[in-house]
Structure 1
Amino acid sequence: MSEVPYNPLDKRSLADSVMKAMLDRPVSPLPPTNPFIGAGIYAIYYVGDYPLYSYITENNNDNQFNQPIYVGKAVPAGARKGGFSLASGPVLYKRLSEHAESVRQAGNLDLNDFYCRYLVVDDIWIPLGESLLIEMFQPIWNKIIDGFGNHDPGSGRYNQQMSRWDVLHPGRGWATRLRPRNESLEEMLSRIQDFIAEIK
């Protein structure tokens, strides 16, 4: 039986390098204190007392920050159309600031309970790093409680369902214009609890 030779340039190895570099970064408040230029990846951590997230807080106590509640990316404008050397501007800082505003608007969350790690990285590596971080940590706001990263869909586009995130954490004004969910609160919480039981 022969072993597959190690290829330092395969996608998994490259993603692993980006992920490790991000996890070696210091933890900052959300949003970071000082604006900065660049695109990249990030993880958001929670240390509050919202009951559903107690397992997350337990993993992040004593400045350990072992379990992100959300992982995301910020790519340069025009990245979806392709191209090299895209000017990024402060897109990563802006994205983290948008997330902070969503938390501020939620009536049952406290922004002081949120922290982040982030890594400015060349845009070609951003999707790889984000995908591996989500696969490794199974962040609850990525995997089962959808909608944290959503934007206001704009006039004429409010026929979509309200996200689970906005049901659990009401406060974003535009979300109240969306259609109610097809699942009951009890059904939603049951599915979330099943997810938590599987990953703990």
Structure 2
Amino acid sequence: MSIPRLAHVVRGKFDPLSLDQLSRNLREAVDDCSRVPLESLAEFPGAGLYALYYTGDHPIYAELRNKDVPVYVGKAEAGNSSYGDPPDEAKPALFDRIAGKHRMSISEASEPHGNLSVADFDVRVLPLDDVWIVLGERALLRAYAPVLWNTLMPGFGANPAGSARTNARSIWDSIHPGRPRAATLWCNRRFTRAEMEERILAGISIVLRDEDDPERESQLRRLRGLRANMIWSPAKKGAADRRSRVYRVEDFLAENAAFGRRIDDGDWVAAADLSEAQPDPEEVAEGNTLAAERDDA
């Protein structure tokens, strides 16, 4: 009887503290938590991770209905004192993030001006020590890539951008209008709403593929590599002409009109030279999150 070679039957050394194993454990811990209706989430102490799930009937999310796939994942840390004091675990940092910020945003994007409802969301919550929180958030981003509201629809969890005309409406605020913070902003700098929806649907089709499907990763790479055709940009710092540069005039006017924004002719000028365009902060933030979703990042 021949004895099989050891190299053929013994796997590599198992490291229970490897980043990959720890990430898997954190993801499974979140998935094992019960889903709670967002509108009835009661205050609780501590920091940790959370995942939001949409259960409503907005048509763009139709394929996610009855699927256990989050539309947004996030974290809240207890924080460290600059004097070396331990974090205050009694503070409701995680609850405040979910209810004080996100539940409020969804409420503002509800009828009559919006198309969401707090009643159409569930949340999973995993209290954690700060040391595990950043790793856990990245594990969730990787597991459910692309997480729609973190990557393809940025803006939901961001702080208000301000009301200057050089600030643009986020993708999230374009698809889900109603937040007062976006009322005075110009349209998105990179996408029309039709282009956003096409990109979102492509992302949903990817996230619903089996994790072992070889096409899943190749489609993710293609999606990450797509660059938008800039609609408009603020003037570069130091430019003599301070008017915003508009590269797709018809789309620029139509998108702003759809949001009820009247644009003065003296505030913009048609342009063709994209070298005059400033980097879009939303695109930079989106790229950082997409990088965090990659297994090799």
Do they fold alike, i.e. is TM over 0.5?
A: yes
Q: Structure with the greater relative contact order (CA < 8 A, sep ≥ 6): 1 or 2?
A: 1
Matches of 1:141 and 1:101 in 2, distance apart? 16
CA change 1:190–1:147 in 2 (3 A) is: same
Deviation, 1:167, is 0.3
Specify the alignment match of 2:119 in structure 1.
112
Distance change in 2, residues 1:186/1:155 (3 Å): closer
Alignment partner, residue 87 of structure 1: 88
Choose 6-15 or 45-54, whichever is displaced more.
Answer: 6-15
- 1:180 and 2:181 correspond: no
> 1:94-148, CA deviations, whole angstroms, 9 ceiling, x for partnerless residues?
0111211111111101111111010110011011111111111122112211111
Q: What stretches of structure 1 of length at least 5 have no aligned partner?
A: 60-65
Match of 2:207 in 1: 199
% identical equivalent positions: 35
Q: For the Cα contact (< 8 Å) 1:70–1:140, is it kept in 2?
A: yes
Matched, 1:164 2:171: yes
Give the structure 1 partner of residue 141 of structure 2: 134
TM-score, normalised to structure 1, is: 0.86
Q: Is the 8 A contact 1:42 1:72 kept in 2?
A: yes
Deviations 1:13-59 (A, max 9, x none): 11222222222111112155321110100011111100010111131
Using the alignment, how far apart are the partners of 2:186 and 2:154 within structure 1? 15
Structure 1 pair 146–185 and aligned structure 2 pair: CA distance change class (3 A): same
Residue 82 of structure 1 deviates from its aligned partner by 11
Q: Secondary structure at the match of 1:141?
A: coil
Q: What is aligned with 2:36? A: 28
**Is 1:9 paired with 2:9?**
no
C-alpha deviation, 1:177, in angstroms:
3.0
In the alignment of these two chains, the number of paired residues is 192
2:45 equivalent to 1:42:
no
Query: Is 1:99 equivalent to 2:107 in the alignment?
Result: no
Tell me, yes or no, if the aligned pair for 2:149 and 2:156 is still in contact at 8 Å: yes
Whether the 8 Å contact between 1:70 and 1:142 is mirrored in structure 2 is yes
Question: Shift of the alpha carbon at 1:73?
Answer: 0.6
Decide which moves more: 70-79 or 9-18.
Answer: 70-79
C-alpha distance in 1, partners of 2:83/2:127?
Answer: 19
RMSD of aligned alpha carbons: 2.3
Distance apart, 1:164 and its partner CA = 0.6
Cα deviation for residue 154 of structure 1 reads 4.6
- The answer for unaligned runs of 5 or more in structure 2 is 1-6, 209-297
Is residue 146–residue 165 contact of structure 1 (8 Å, CA) maintained in 2? yes
Q: Which one-letter code corresponds to 2:107 in the other structure?
A: R
Which residue in the other structure is 1:122 paired with? 129
Structure 2 residue aligned with 1:62:
none
Matched, 1:150 2:150: no
